[in-house]
Structure 1
Amino acid sequence: MAASSALVRTPETTHRVYFQDCDMLGHLNNARFLDYFLNAREEQVARHYALNMGQLAREQNASWVITKHHLSYLRPARQGEIVRIRTQLIHFDNSNLVIEMQMLNEDSQKLKAVLWSEMTFVKVDSGVRTDHSDELMEMLEQLDVEGIDYDPDGFDDRVRSLRKELKRARSGEEK
Structure 2
Amino acid sequence: MTKILKTKRKVRFQDCDPFNHLNNSKYLEYFINVREDQIAEHYDLDIFEYMRTTGLSWVVASNQISYVRPAFTMETVSIESQLIQYSENLLLVEMKMWNENETELKAILWIKFIPYNVQTKKAASHSDDLMKLFESVVVPIDQSIFENRYIEIIQQLKSRTYA
The alignment's C-alpha RMSD in Å is 1.1
Identical positions, percent = 38
TM-score by length of 2: 0.96
Q: For residue 44 of structure 1, report the CA deviation from its aligned partner.
A: 0.6
Q: For residue 150 of structure 1, report the CA deviation from its aligned partner.
A: 4.8
TM-score by length of 1: 0.89
Equivalent residue number for residue 81 of structure 1: 75
Q: For residue 171 of structure 1, report the CA deviation from its aligned partner.
A: 2.7
The superposition leaves residues 143-174 of structure 1 with CA deviations (integer Å, 9 ceiling, x where unpaired) of: 1103x0352xx1111111111112222333xx
Q: Which amino acid aligns with 1:138?
A: K
Q: 2:93 aligns with which of 95, 99, 111?
A: 99
Q: Whose strand proportion is higher, 1 or 2?
A: 2
Q: Does 1:163 align with 2:157?
A: no
Secondary structure of the equivalent of 1:13?
strand
Unaligned 5+ runs, structure 1 = 1-6
Q: Does 1:112 align with 2:106?
A: yes
Q: How many residues align?
A: 163
State the distance in 2 between where 1:50 and 1:84 align: 21
Equivalent residue number for residue 121 of structure 2: 127
Unaligned 5+ runs, structure 2 = none
Secondary structure of the equivalent of 2:98?
strand
Q: For residue 84 of structure 1, report the CA deviation from its aligned partner.
A: 0.6
Equivalent residue number for residue 37 of structure 2: 43
